[in-house]
Structure 1
Amino acid sequence: MNRKIDNFYDVLQLLKQFGFIIYFKDKKDMYEMMEQEIKTLYQYELLSKDDYLKCRLIINQRKIDK
């Protein structure tokens, strides 16, 4: 099922749908945990490949910007 994932907020909302509220004081740790949870959701086939890749791209862009 493809979802509307266009920005970082959409990734946070996607994780929240599955019960993950991720916040760390250290942004690097937060992005790492988000990537791990997105990967887990994909491995359990709860995310489509397109959604998985969009999420990874958005998180990686956020890592670079900060």
Structure 2
Amino acid sequence: MKTLYDVQQLLKKFDIYVYVGKRIWDIEVMALELDHLHEAKLISQDEFLHAKMVLNREHRVEEKKQK
């Protein structure tokens, strides 16, 4: 898992589609959804960690764009 698109595809497997309107907000909601999937043990630890790393990187990129 290397891109935000990959994370979106993972969420899509569980019929989770995120569109809030602002990219940084979408990333934050995706992170919350990932947390819920992980707590429910629906995704592996490996998938969870890779997806969170991607989201953290994308979140930092968006924060830099806003400054």
Q: Higher Cα Rg: structure 1 or 2?
A: 2
1:6 is displaced (CA, Å) by 2.2
In the alignment, structure 1 segments of 5+ residues that lack a partner are none
How high is the TM-score relative to the length of structure 2? 0.84
1:25 is displaced (CA, Å) by 1.4
Structure showing the higher helix proportion among its residues:
2
Confirm whether residue 27 of structure 1 aligns to residue 23 of structure 2. Answer: yes
RMSD of equivalent CA atoms: 0.9
Number of corresponding residues: 62
Q: Percent identity?
A: 29
Cα separation, 1, equivalents of 2:35 and 2:17: 15
Cα separation, 1, equivalents of 2:3 and 2:25: 19
Confirm whether residue 54 of structure 1 aligns to residue 38 of structure 2. Answer: no
In the alignment, structure 2 segments of 5+ residues that lack a partner are 63-67
Match of 2:9 among 13, 23, 29: 13
How high is the TM-score relative to the length of structure 1? 0.86
